[in-house]
Amino acid sequence: MTHFRYPDVSSWVEWAKEYRFGAFYIFPPAGVIEPVDALRQVYDPRSARSCQAHISLSEPLLGPLADDQIEELQAALSSFEPFEIRYGPVRSMPPYPGVVYAIEPESTFMQLRAVVHATSIFRGSAFSRRDIAPHTTIAEFISLERTHELLRELRGNVPEGTFLRDVIEYAVPTDQLYFERVLTLPLGVRPTSRAIT
């Protein structure tokens, strides 16, 4: 039986409380994530302190993740083949301030997002982030003016590339609102057992 430790959110700011039960993400692999994390630490240390570089895949969960839901999700992911992700170039996401890495192929990512949200884990969820383009944030807590400056500064001067994505990950915040990866689920693999990290 799987048990995850969920945080005490009583002292959290209101917007953060919806993340109490975590969410599903794609984290870049070693060799890719470190340079992106370094950019985040320079240009948005506030965000860097809460989570490593990532691509948000799902809505926040509405309640604790149960064993039968994990099995259901793994079965759904078994028919979704691993795929190559391209990160870059950097862009903004008007009308919001901030600089992000564009993520492609967007259509494949959106299909994966739909597979995850079709499970009972998200029954009753509003799916309000359905149409948000996939991205990896470099800086979000900045002004629109700083957004334009940073785009000029970073375009053509930051790493870009591709990586194979063959897993998704479940991350849950600590009491201090730092998201830790607690479960890894493979793509394109018939479910036999779970890999818990």
Please, what is the average pLDDT of the chain?
93
Report the run of H or E that residue 73 belongs to, with start and end.
helix 67-77
Give the tens place of pLDDT for each residue, 28-52: 999 999 999 999 999 999 889 999 9
Q: Beta 167-173 vs 83-93: how paired, if at all?
A: unpaired
The token pair at 92 is 């903004």
- Mean pLDDT within 151-180: 96
The dihedrals phi and psi of 165, each to the nearest 5 degrees, come to: -110, 115
Quote the pLDDT of residue 1: 64
> If one looks up domain 24-186 in CATH, what number appears?
3.90.1140.10
| Cβ pair 23, 61 in contact under 8 A | yes
C-beta neighbour count of 53 within 10 angstroms:
23
Order the strands of the 179-186 sheet from edge to edge. 55-56, 23-26, 167-173, 179-186
- How far from chain centre, in Å, is Cα 137? 10
Residue 130 confidence (pLDDT):
77
Q: What is the per-residue pLDDT across 94-139, written as a single tens digit (0 to 9) for each?
A: 888 999 999 999 999 999 999 999 999 999 877 777 788 999 999 9
How do residues 135-164 score in pLDDT, each as one tens digit?
999 999 899 999 999 999 999 999 999 999
Centre a 10 Å sphere on the Cβ of residue 9 and count the other Cβ atoms it contains. Answer: 17
